[in-house]
Each structure stands twice: as structure tokens, then as C-alpha cells.
Amino acid sequence: MKEMERRVVVTGMGAVTPIGNCLKDFWQGIREGRNGIDVITHFDLSGHKATMGAEVKNFEYEDKRAARRLDRISQMGITAALEAVNDSGLRTGENVDPYRTGVIAATGIGGIMTVESEVRKAEVKGLSRVSPVLVPMIIPNLVAGNIAIKTGAKGNAMSLATACSSGTNAIGEAARMIKHGYLDTVIAGGAEAGFAPVCFAGFVNMTAISLKTDRNRCCIPFDKERDGFVMGEGAAFMILEEYEHAKARGAKIYGEIAGYGATCDAYHITLPEPGGEGAARAMKDAIEDAGISPADIDYINAHGTGTPANDATETRAIKKVFGEHTDVMISSTKSMTGHLLGAAGAVEAIACIKAMEDSFVPPTINLRVPDPELDLDYVPNEGRNRELKYTLSESLGFGGHNAVLVFKKA
């Protein structure tokens, strides 16, 4: 079916992250190697074993009245999506057909902050005091639904949940919809706001979260002393558009979605398959979909969570695809943003696009103690000025989900 496929480009981007509340500030944070991690302020830490998180700072939803009816996940998702729409110059009903414009919004957890706060309210004040807008605040599809309402997008609007690969899957599936002619434009990305005390305790008790209290040593992907990930929050969206459609309306083109691969380990509910076979297949599929070879990839934005299992497995997967002694540059921007769960892949997709545009490879900050078992080039501590033609972003999720995107420079 290759003859029927259409090219998919990125024409707008928006971000709300722990290191910057808009696209410009987010990328500046990446260039500076800014650490977005600090002591959690969203809830009382009494009784919690872990205390560090990557929160979005100084964020206020612009419509304060509407904010009372929107969980934080929707507030940040709408904000990032509208920035992407404005960045692209997209005007539904004017320069794009609303019926050919879709929304795919990813989340791993949904409106968990509202769930927990309303349960506490019900226990203290009674069931009659539960909010009448509880359900539309917590159901995962309302991130996509609210974005569609705000933008007038009347094509396919859906949510997607594949744990920590959700954001990457959302962009990949959106690209396929355009590539095969179902839509011309898609607002695609992810949002997550999981700083609720019981949810956080669940992650801690499964031993996934770092217990360190030094903000510069608790999220250390590929470091020998890594002991878990640091939870983050935020949102990122991009406008995907058919190439000729974008050209016809004079849109700026940031880059191209060249390839997409998605697989499942079918191995364990939380652990990756130790040999990295599923992740390797996803990378191979994405590279083949792009019509290139592994040698063409200049930079990999790794899943790089900082858990002992993930970083070792991911390194093995990269070696399966690129060779045991590959010199491809690899980094984990989670060292700066923390792990945004369902939104992580969308944030990291933007990092890959901006890396090509700016000819800059993001660093893995605070990587100080080399692990002899992890012997690839993880771009430690300092970013690099390099020309990049192809970049790859990899995301792995609980349940064995693997998703990979390949981007091509505009």
C-alpha cells in the first residue's frame, strides 16, 4: 500500500513541563540542562517513603471559572494543545476542514487527582457532596473531548492509554491516520497529572520510584547508582499534517514523522522482557517504515527511566538493532523532566524535533557513576552541537508496550 501513503509533517508544538510551561521555555530548559525535580508540594508527604517529584511550577489555567470543572490533566492538556494550534496557525473551518481534523490525546492514568480528592470528600462530608462533574473530570477521553470542543475538530477524537508508551503511540497512530488518508490534520500528544497521594504510594510500594532525597541524584538514568524513576507531570501536543496540505496553507514545517513501530513483549505486567527483544522489534519496524537503515539514525531519545531493569534492557535492545559497539548518541531527557508517564513520549517527541531544528543533542544530566554493563554514549551532563538528520524516540510501558517514532529533519 506504499503508493497510497502520504507524508506526515509537524507544523505546530506546545508544551507544559516541569522545566518550562511553553515550547520556548521547555526547549531552553533542555539546552540549559535544567533540573525540574524537587520536593513534592501537591500533597502532604507525611508517611510517604519517597518525597521527590517533577512538578509543573507556576501553572494556572487561563479560564479560572472553567478550571473548577477540569482536572489538572485537562487543564495542562488543553493549554499545550492550544499552544500547538496557535503555533501552527491552524484555524478550523478557515484553513483546515473541521471534518478532516482529529484529536488523539494520550494519558496513562486519567483524572486521578480528582478521584482521590472526591473520595476523601465523600468520606468526610458524605456522598451527597460528591461533585456533579466528577465523571467528566476523571474519564480519560475528556482530554481529547475538551481539546476538540476548544478547537472545533470534528474528525476522529479519541484517547489512548498504553501506560508510559501512550504519548508515542498517540503520535504514531495519528500519523497513520494521515498517512493512509483518513484525516488531513491531527492534534496529537499526551497529558498526565498523577500527583495524588494514594496513586503515588502505589508506585512507591511497587519499588518503581527513587527513594533518594538529593534532587541531583534521584533521577539518574544509565548511572550505576540509579534506584528508580521520579514521577513528573505535564502535557505536550503537536500538530500533524499531510505534507501537501501544510504546504498549500503556507505552514511552517518543523520536521517529518518518517516511521513508527509498536510491539508488545507479552511477558510481564511491569517488567520489560530482559533481552529487549520487543523494544528492538519496535525500533526495527520504525526504521524500516522510514525507509532507512539504523546507521542513518543520529540520535536516540531513550525511554531512560532510571530504573535498574529499564536502562539495562533498553541498552540491550539498542545493541540488538545498532550493534554491540554502536556510537549512536543516546540520552534521557527524563533526567531533567522526570517521568511524565502517559505524556512522556509526546514531550520527548518534541525534544527530538527541536534537536534537529536546533542542531543540538540533549544531555543526560547528573550521570556521574558509569555502569560497566551500560557502555554506550549516553551524552552525559553536557549537550552537544551536532547536525541531525534523523532522530528516534523510544517509549516502553507497563504491560509490555513498546512504541518508537523516527523523525526526519525538515
Per-residue pLDDT reduced to its tens digit, 220-266: 999 999 999 999 999 999 999 999 999 999 999 999 999 999 999 99
Q: In whole angstroms, give the CA distance from residue 233 to residue 119.
A: 22
The per-residue pLDDT for range 3-50, each reduced to its tens digit, is 568 999 999 999 999 999 999 999 999 999 999 999 999 999 999 999
Burial class of residue 233 in the structure, from the number of CB atoms within 10 Å of its CB (0-12 exposed, 13-18 middle, 19+ buried): buried
Of the residues 218, 219, 245, 339, only one is catalytic, namely 339
The per-residue pLDDT for range 294-323, each reduced to its tens digit, is 999 999 999 999 999 999 999 999 999 999
> Residue 329: which pLDDT band, with cuts at 50, 70 and 90?
very high
Q: In whole angstroms, give the CA distance from residue 226 to residue 192.
A: 24
Question: What pLDDT, on the 0 to 100 scale, is given for residue 1?
Answer: 41
Report residue 303: phi and psi, to 5°: -60, -45
Question: What pLDDT, on the 0 to 100 scale, is given for residue 93?
Answer: 81
The more confident residue out of 1 and 282 is: 282
268 is catalytic: no
Q: In whole angstroms, give the CA distance from residue 74 to residue 349.
A: 20
Of the residues 218, 219, 245, 303, only one is catalytic, namely 303
Q: In whole angstroms, give the CA distance from residue 93 to residue 101.
A: 10
- pTM, two decimals, is 0.97
Mean pLDDT of 63-92: 96
Of the residues 164, 218, 219, 352, only one is catalytic, namely 164
The per-residue pLDDT for range 204-222, each reduced to its tens digit, is 999 999 999 999 999 999 9
Predicted confidence (pLDDT) at residue 2 exceeds the cutoff of 80: no
> Residue 92: which pLDDT band, with cuts at 50, 70 and 90?
confident
Domains of the chain: 8-248 (3.40.47.10), 260-409 (3.40.47.10)
- The residues facing 298 across adjacent strands are none
303 is catalytic: yes
CB 337 within 8 A of CB 347: yes
Per-residue burial over 234-244, b if 16 or more Cβ lie within 10 Å, else e, is bbbbbbbbbbe
The per-residue pLDDT for range 363-381, each reduced to its tens digit, is 999 999 999 999 999 999 9
